[in-house]
A and B are shown apart, each in its own frame.
Chain A
Amino acid sequence: MVKEDETFPCDLIFLSSSRADGTCHVTTASLDGESSHKTHYAVQDTKGFHTEEDIDSLHATIECERPQPDLYKFVGRINVYNDLNDPVVRPLGSENLLLRGATLKNTEKIFGVAVYTGMETKMALNYQSKSQKRSAVEKSMNVFLIVYLCILVSKALINTIMKYVWQSEPFRDEPWYNQKTEAERQRNLLLRAFTDFLAFMVLFNYIIPVSMYVTVEMQKFLGSYFITWDEEMFDEETGEGPLVNTSDLNEELGQVEYVFTDKTGTLTENNMEFKECCVEGHVYVPHAVCNGQVLPTAAAIDMIDASPGAGGREREELFFRAVCLCHTIQVKDDDEVDGPRKSPDSGKRCAYISSSPDEVALVEGIQRLGFTYLRLKDNYMELRNRDNDIERFELLEILSFDSVRRRMSVIVKSATGEIYLFCKGADSSIFPRVIEGKVDQIQSRVERNAVEGLRTLCVAYKRLIQEEYEGIYKLLQAAKVALHDRERKLAEAYEQIEKDLILLGATAVEDRLQEKAADTIEALQKAGIKVWVLTGDKMETAAAACYACRLFRRNTQLLEVTTKRLEEQSLHDVLCELSKTVLHCSASLTRDSFSGLSADVQDYGLIIDGAALSLIMKPHEDGSSSNYRELFLDICRNCSAVLCCRMAPLQKAQIVKLIKFSKEHPITLAIGDGANDVSMILEAHVGIGIIGKEGRQAARNSDYAIPKFKHLKKMLLVHGHFYYIRISELVQYFFYKNVCFIFPQFLYQFFCGFSQQTLYDTAYLTLYNISFTSLPILLHSLTEQHVAMDTLKRDPALYRDIAKNALLCWRVFIYWTFLGVFDALVFFFGAYFMFENTTVTSNGQVFGNWTFGTLVFTVMVFTVTLKLALDTHYWTWINHFVIWGSLLFYVVFSLLWGGIIWPFLSYQRMYYVFIHMLSSGPAWLAIVLLVAVSLLPDVLKKVLCRQLWPSATERVQRSSSRRAPADAAPSPDRPLLMDPEPRPRRE
């Protein structure tokens, strides 16, 4: 038993509730974030049990499937044993299942029986992480790591071999002053060599920056907060900010080459408004919308009055009733309910709630045409007709909507006892099932609406006689009770039922574009990102939306690979022809760009539909499919925009996969808002969910969730860019500083008889990566902004500078490594020549090996930290604090470490070493000199590159820095980089 506002402790089968109709409301906010109330239904046979005794007397068994993580699916059945009869079998679905973690609302108490508990509950199963996504940075990091591992092993190997070569003369192996113990002498040569090898490995192991992984993780975790904190990505309307579900992919946002976007709810508002309906060729427009609009069908309202004959009238009313009845909307009487979609008709006290905004728009639209859906009570749907009479229909069956069938149906029984099946769905799924009705007229109207970017649905009906219905009932029941393959069986049953329909009419709903969608797409395209629209909508609707959001421009030449065209030509011919056009274009493009006339090159846009795509993807017997795929990819690559319409969710994922595994392995990003986008979101390198109206499923499965499509721009161009440069600097710097750290040790082996003597004291070895040099780079990688945020937003082309993992390519990696080696050579040999056979103090006393190591280490800590200071373009007080702070910490620590005889140490080798070193003038001079020498080449390289071959980013940096003192207020609209055609990437 669970009381109101309590959370369900495990997954329960809902037996009965304190409400008379056996329903209860729950909110699953903690499960999927949807705060709306959902209605669940008690099992029919048990909803009468209202006391604990009643429940005790219940004798029933429940069969259910094995625990599954899908929150919205449940298959099971309950056998209720009455004393007299055979057991009654009832199907159980997700509507009977109360999930652990959900909270009971508006219901006093419910009774339920536990089916899944503990780790088997759906909530617990959902804790399982999704398949892990790895960013490109992480991959190259791992490659670099392998390189370093090879370096490590080869270093150890070289030293081991050198050691034995060197030791081959016995006086070197064991001079009189340094004899081995008896045990050491007797050890086997091979064993000794192996232990030596291992000892070298231990000595040099710091070259593998273990702490890098810790720092990278910390950077990613902390860095992701900047996304959630971003005020500009907070949406005032919905009160939602961006969500970060994984912090592993922050830098991947700066690497995106392909964006796959859903249309509905992503590019568009998913805020549906009923535009018109068309019954048998007559067009109706609701008053409210009609105001001030000059539609070609402005006279439509008259049509309602001038009723077109009795039969027409009947059809018309049937149509309205169909729209009124064929849905799964719930009515909320309660105004307090935080349902976001109240009826705009504020005079009504009821609000419609549905998982599909189309349905709400339809029912609201029909309301304006006179038919008001009132409520569903005791399986009777009530609606008020034009004459203000209340009509009641018994709801017999709901054949619920799914994205494969793309339609839904209800079977209702009117008060007069007539049984109707009303079916509503996409035109493509309705028309083939229609046997009667003015198909041509309606189809033309539908197409016209689609071109205007409206979403169309067709409505059809079928009258059933009692026997037919009983047949259907049995069919459905059998399918519903099935434990295995229930989905498939249901689909088959639906297929059988929804046929031989009579077409009534079509509806059109407008879906407005999201604000700044066009702006965002334009920016993305300027940033060198290819935007693909993948939608389930009709081609015409989708194309209209694409024009509206400037994905296609007026001069874009559209290439079509559609079913229609394929009927005329074979796939092969179409593809060949297209590729010829496109390749010719790209050839001319290169010519043009050579001659500098790149301004108006022909843009190509590709439109492909689901059927054609499946043809391309379908593997042929002779294996020629890969040819088609390659051809198709070639075409796609040369098109500035691609629109894929009529896509099933799986096809969306397929497309993403196709691009993902094409030969350049581009980084893909998928963005969508609905459950149908989940597969694509999971498939792409980065999945972004829109916290939209079609529920939270997409947001839940995504890596990042944002409230609006427009936020994608900042997400990629600003955050992605920043994260990428930050993390790449972090990775390269870590490798660099560890080369600096370990390479002197390697060199020292040549001067200490390859005896694995460490150059630095143990404390320095341990603390180098942990405290002397860790914080500056961590903070650098959190706050660095090489270019101002506004500039990045204003100038999307800067995104191209970092495309293709530019900052982690081999060239850069080798540069950093060589810089590290150079610096290490400077440190070591600088100190070597300082110490060689002389004294450096003014009292003639000499220094030992620990002073030598400390000098190298001091120079190194300063160089490495100052190198980071040189790379920092954005000095906040935090950077000042950590950079100067960690240098100060090093000095203070060294003074302290050498200033005391530490009682817990068995050796006192560092005693006063650092202080004595500082008392020597030449040591200071050497530190200054060596730091300067180490930094010189890097400064030189930076300056020369900036001066001679500046990248776009550097030009912007320069111009902005020049502008700032010049006091010229940059106008926010004018891009700083005036180059209309950004330079081709250096490759």
Chain B
Amino acid sequence: MAMNYNAKDEVDGGPPCAPGGTAKNRRPDNTAFKQQRLPAWQPILTAGTVLPTFFIIGLIFIPIGIGIFVTSNNIREIEIDYTGTDPSSPCNKCLSPNVTPCICTINFTLEQSFEGNVFMYYGLSNFYQNHRRYVKSRDDSQLNGDPSALLNPSKECEPYRRNEDKPIAPCGAIANSMFNDTLDLFLVGNESDPTPIHLIKKGIAWWTDKNVKFRNPPGADIPLEERFKGTTKPVNWVKPVYMLDPNEDNSGFINEDFIVWMRTAALPTFRKLYRLIERKSDLHPTLPAGRYYLNITYNYPVHSFDGRKRMILSTISWMGGKNPFLGIAYIAIGSISFLLGVVLLVINHKYRNSSNTADITI
């Protein structure tokens, strides 16, 4: 029956406009598009079609969530606040600006050993790196090594554009406020003299930033200092940009600490990668459990804006650092959708009965 019906439709739809008369040219074309009869898939969201989807979502999301949650829980992370607002803190002395340079030491203990590569972050709170005035206060051309922009930075850098009639390199508020605490980590072994932990400072910035987006001013053979001739250091810096690191591969605009800082954080509480601690061998944990101390050269003032400073040591899994949110969210959504599936099943069951009877009465 249905076949006949459809077939008749097709015949109707096909040739009848072919034998053209006089007025036929005004006749609209009988194309599927113009007659709004394009073949179409007509899905309808009913409980029947949605039910399996809900169950499938539930069945997929819950295991993923559990996986993520477990992974996240296996990550070792330790966070040490060294702001020094607490009077008992060793860094409390550094709050007054008179003590320069101020070095303080904080002891801590790792209860469990850190396996695999360990990442050392510094974290700041209440620091608005995402403030509009701050975000735009940079000159990407200058950072890309453009000689004209080097000597004549963008207006966006104001009021950190020029100092004493010399252009600032790198200009802008972001560069000016670069984080300049130095953190050193020592393991207090069984013996009395502590062993310093080797901190690697390469590979903390995005590869593309380091190699493409940030470039020193041109001139391969000339010493770095010459290339920055005619510029001055940012007001708050102690050293000019070309002396950020003794190694020329990591100095100037392509200093990785600098590049990391220049990637403005999304939220006022953020962490930035400071150093890497590479795994030495499979046998020994990178950071065995035990007592450590952190040596801080305290330069960076955060007290004035109620900020906090932290040092974070963390291992990393395939999904990054410790983040329980994603796993919990997956589990929650998976369960909810499973539950909804059950509810819908019940409703659908009831409804189908009633609709069937309705059909019969009709």
Whether, in the assembled complex, A911 has its beta carbon less than 8 Å from a beta carbon of chain B, the answer is yes
Q: Are A231 and B320 in contact (CB under 8 A)?
A: no
Partner of A840, one of B139, B213, B314, B321: B321
User: Could you say which residues of chain B place their CB within 8 Å of the CB of A241?
Assistant: 26-28
Whether, in the assembled complex, B36 has its beta carbon less than 8 Å from a beta carbon of chain A, the answer is yes
User: Could you say which residues of chain B place their CB within 8 Å of the CB of A757?
Assistant: 130-132, 135
Q: Which A residues from 320 to 361 make CB contacts under 8 A with B?
A: none
Q: When chains A and B are docked, how far (Å) is the Cα of A12 from the Cα of B263?
A: 77
User: Could you say which residues of chain A place their CB within 8 Å of the CB of B329?
Assistant: 830, 833, 929, 933
Contact residues on A (Cβ < 8 Å of other chain), bracket: 35 or more
User: Could you say which residues of chain B place their CB within 8 Å of the CB of A181?
Assistant: 158-159
Which are the 3 A-B pairs with shortest beta-carbon distances?
A239-B23, A177-B177, A852-B266
Whether, in the assembled complex, A936 has its beta carbon less than 8 Å from a beta carbon of chain B, the answer is yes
User: Could you say which residues of chain B place their CB within 8 Å of the CB of A978?
Assistant: 362
Task: Please give the distance in Å from A171's CB to the nearest CB on chain B.
Answer: 4
Q: Are A912 and B326 in contact (CB under 8 A)?
A: no
CB nearest neighbor in A for B328: A833
Query: What mask results when residues 14 to 29 of chain B are scored 1 for a CB within 8 Å of chain A, else 0?
Result: 0001000111101111
Q: Are A240 and B26 in contact (CB under 8 A)?
A: yes
CB nearest neighbor in B for A844: B119
Q: Are A230 and B266 in contact (CB under 8 A)?
A: no
User: Could you say which residues of chain B place their CB within 8 Å of the CB of A755?
Assistant: 128, 130-134
User: Could you say which residues of chain B place their CB within 8 Å of the CB of A838?
Assistant: 271, 320-323
Q: When chains A and B are docked, how far (Å) is the Cα of A788 from the Cα of B37?
A: 9
User: Could you say which residues of chain B place their CB within 8 Å of the CB of A758?
Assistant: 132
Whether, in the assembled complex, A303 has its beta carbon less than 8 Å from a beta carbon of chain B, the answer is no
Query: What mask results when residues 132 to 146 of chain B are scored 1 for a CB within 8 Å of chain A, else 0?
Result: 111111111100100
| Most interface-central of A916, A943, A967 (chain B CB within 10 A) | A943
Q: When chains A and B are docked, how far (Å) is the Cα of A111 from the Cα of B146?
A: 78
User: Could you say which residues of chain A place their CB within 8 Å of the CB of B111?
Assistant: none
25 contacts between A and B (CB under 8 A): A175-B128, A178-B173, A229-B35, A239-B22, A755-B134, A836-B269, A836-B325, A838-B321, A839-B271, A839-B320, A843-B203, A845-B273, A873-B42, A873-B44, A879-B40, A906-B141, A912-B206, A921-B319, A922-B326, A925-B330, A929-B333, A933-B333, A944-B347, A948-B347, A967-B1
Whether, in the assembled complex, B264 has its beta carbon less than 8 Å from a beta carbon of chain A, the answer is yes
Q: Given A845-B206, A922-B326, are A942 and B320 neighbors across the interface (CB < 8 Å)? A: no
User: Could you say which residues of chain B place their CB within 8 Å of the CB of A231?
Assistant: 17, 27-28, 30, 34-35
> Which of the segments B85-93, B246-254, B282-290, B299-307 contacts the partner chain?
B299-307
Q: Are A840 and B320 in contact (CB under 8 A)?
A: yes
Task: Please give the distance in Å from B141's CB to the nearest CB on chain A.
Answer: 7
Q: Which B residues from 318 to 362 make CB contacts under 8 A with A?
A: 318-323, 325-326, 329-330, 333, 336-337, 340, 344, 347-348, 351, 362
Partner of A178, one of B17, B131, B323, B351: B131
Whether, in the assembled complex, B83 has its beta carbon less than 8 Å from a beta carbon of chain A, the answer is no
Whether, in the assembled complex, A961 has its beta carbon less than 8 Å from a beta carbon of chain B, the answer is yes
Identify 4 new A-B residue pairs, CB closer than 8 A, beyond the known A845-B205, A874-B42, A932-B337: A238-B23, A835-B266, A907-B140, A946-B47
Partner of B47, one of A238, A916, A943, A969: A943
Q: Which A residues from 907 to 942 make CB contacts under 8 A with B?
A: 907-909, 911-912, 916, 920-922, 925-926, 929, 932-933, 936, 939-940, 942
Query: What mask results when residues 675 to 714 of chain A are scored 1 for a CB within 8 Å of chain B, else 0?
Result: 0000000000000000000000000000000000000000
| Most interface-central of B159, B176, B344 (chain A CB within 10 A) | B159
User: Could you say which residues of chain A place their CB within 8 Å of the CB of B148?
Assistant: none
User: Could you say which residues of chain A place their CB within 8 Å of the CB of B316?
Assistant: 839, 841-844
Q: Are A841 and B320 in contact (CB under 8 A)?
A: yes
Q: Are B140 and A837 in contact (CB under 8 A)?
A: no
Q: Are B44 and A957 in contact (CB under 8 A)?
A: yes
CB nearest neighbor in B for A855: B266
Whether, in the assembled complex, B129 has its beta carbon less than 8 Å from a beta carbon of chain A, the answer is yes
Whether, in the assembled complex, B295 has its beta carbon less than 8 Å from a beta carbon of chain A, the answer is no
User: Could you say which residues of chain A place their CB within 8 Å of the CB of B36?
Assistant: 226, 722, 783, 785, 789
Interface residues of A (CB under 8 A from B): 171-172, 175-182, 225-226, 228-231, 234, 238-241, 722, 751-753, 755-758, 783, 785, 788-789, 830, 832-849, 851-853, 870, 873-879, 901, 905-909, 911-912, 916, 920-922, 925-926, 929, 932-933, 936, 939-940, 942-944, 946-948, 957-958, 961, 967-970, 978
Task: Please give the distance in Å from B121's CB to the nearest CB on chain A.
Answer: 8
Partner of B45, one of A238, A756, A841, A943: A943
Q: When chains A and B are docked, how far (Å) is the Cα of A583 from the Cα of B44?
A: 43
Whether, in the assembled complex, B57 has its beta carbon less than 8 Å from a beta carbon of chain A, the answer is yes
User: Could you say which residues of chain A place their CB within 8 Å of the CB of B266?
Assistant: 835, 847-849, 851-853
Partner of A230, one of B35, B176, B269: B35
Task: Please give the distance in Å from B97's CB to the nearest CB on chain A.
Answer: 11
Partner of A939, one of B2, B44, B45, B336: B45
Q: Are A901 and B320 in contact (CB under 8 A)?
A: no
Whether, in the assembled complex, B100 has its beta carbon less than 8 Å from a beta carbon of chain A, the answer is no
Interface residues of B (CB under 8 A from A): 1-2, 4-5, 17, 21-24, 26-30, 34-47, 50, 57, 61, 64, 68, 117, 119, 121, 123, 127-141, 144, 154, 156, 158-160, 173, 176-177, 203-206, 208-209, 212-213, 260, 263-273, 276, 301, 304-306, 314, 316-323, 325-326, 329-330, 333, 336-337, 340, 344, 347-348, 351, 362
Task: Please give the distance in Å from B270's CB to the nearest CB on chain A.
Answer: 7
Task: Please give the distance in Å from A884's CB to the nearest CB on chain B.
Answer: 13
CB nearest neighbor in A for B118: A844
Q: Are A175 and B305 in contact (CB under 8 A)?
A: yes
Q: When chains A and B are docked, how far (Å) is the Cα of A933 from the Cα of B34?
A: 38
| Most interface-central of B40, B144, B267, B304 (chain A CB within 10 A) | B40
Q: When chains A and B are docked, how far (Å) is the Cα of A182 from the Cα of B336?
A: 55
Q: When chains A and B are docked, how far (Å) is the Cα of A878 from the Cα of B141?
A: 44
User: Could you say which residues of chain A place their CB within 8 Å of the CB of B136?
Assistant: 907
Q: When chains A and B are docked, how far (Å) is the Cα of A34 from the Cα of B319?
A: 75
CB nearest neighbor in A for B79: A837
Q: Are A946 and B128 in contact (CB under 8 A)?
A: no
Q: Are B320 and A177 in contact (CB under 8 A)?
A: no
Partner of A228, one of B28, B158, B333, B336: B28
Q: Given A842-B320, A908-B140, A932-B333, are A849 and B265 neighbors across the interface (CB < 8 Å)? A: yes
Q: Are A179 and B173 in contact (CB under 8 A)?
A: yes
Task: Please give the distance in Å from A318's CB to the nearest CB on chain B.
Answer: 43
Q: When chains A and B are docked, how far (Å) is the Cα of A942 from the Cα of B362?
A: 26
User: Could you say which residues of chain B place their CB within 8 Å of the CB of A870?
Assistant: 45
Q: Are B127 and A177 in contact (CB under 8 A)?
A: yes
Q: When chains A and B are docked, how far (Å) is the Cα of A281 from the Cα of B51?
A: 80
Task: Please give the distance in Å from B272's CB to the nearest CB on chain A.
Answer: 6
CB nearest neighbor in B for A912: B208
Task: Please give the distance in Å from B235's CB to the nearest CB on chain A.
Answer: 10
Q: Are A837 and B28 in contact (CB under 8 A)?
A: no
User: Could you say which residues of chain B place their CB within 8 Å of the CB of A180?
Assistant: 133, 159
User: Could you say which residues of chain B place their CB within 8 Å of the CB of A969?
Assistant: 1-2, 4-5
Task: Please give the distance in Å from A877's CB to the nearest CB on chain B.
Answer: 7
Q: Given A179-B159, A943-B45, A947-B351, are A926 and B326 neighbors across the interface (CB < 8 Å)? A: yes
Q: When chains A and B are docked, how far (Å) is the Cα of A585 from the Cα of B329?
A: 60
Partner of A752, one of B57, B132, B144, B314: B132
Q: When chains A and B are docked, how far (Å) is the Cα of A846 from the Cα of B21?
A: 73
Q: Are A946 and B45 in contact (CB under 8 A)?
A: yes
CB nearest neighbor in A for B178: A177
User: Could you say which residues of chain A place their CB within 8 Å of the CB of B37?
Assistant: 789
Partner of A916, one of B26, B135, B206: B206
Q: Given A842-B316, A878-B38, are A958 and B321 neighbors across the interface (CB < 8 Å)? A: no
Q: Given A851-B266, A943-B344, are A921 and B128 neighbors across the interface (CB < 8 Å)? A: no
Partner of A929, one of B135, B137, B213, B330: B330
Partner of B271, one of A226, A751, A837: A837
Q: Are B319 and A925 in contact (CB under 8 A)?
A: yes
Q: Given A755-B128, A961-B44, are A844 and B323 neighbors across the interface (CB < 8 Å)? A: no
User: Could you say which residues of chain B place their CB within 8 Å of the CB of A756?
Assistant: 132
Q: Given A833-B325, A873-B44, A978-B362, are A908 and B50 neighbors across the interface (CB < 8 Å)? A: no
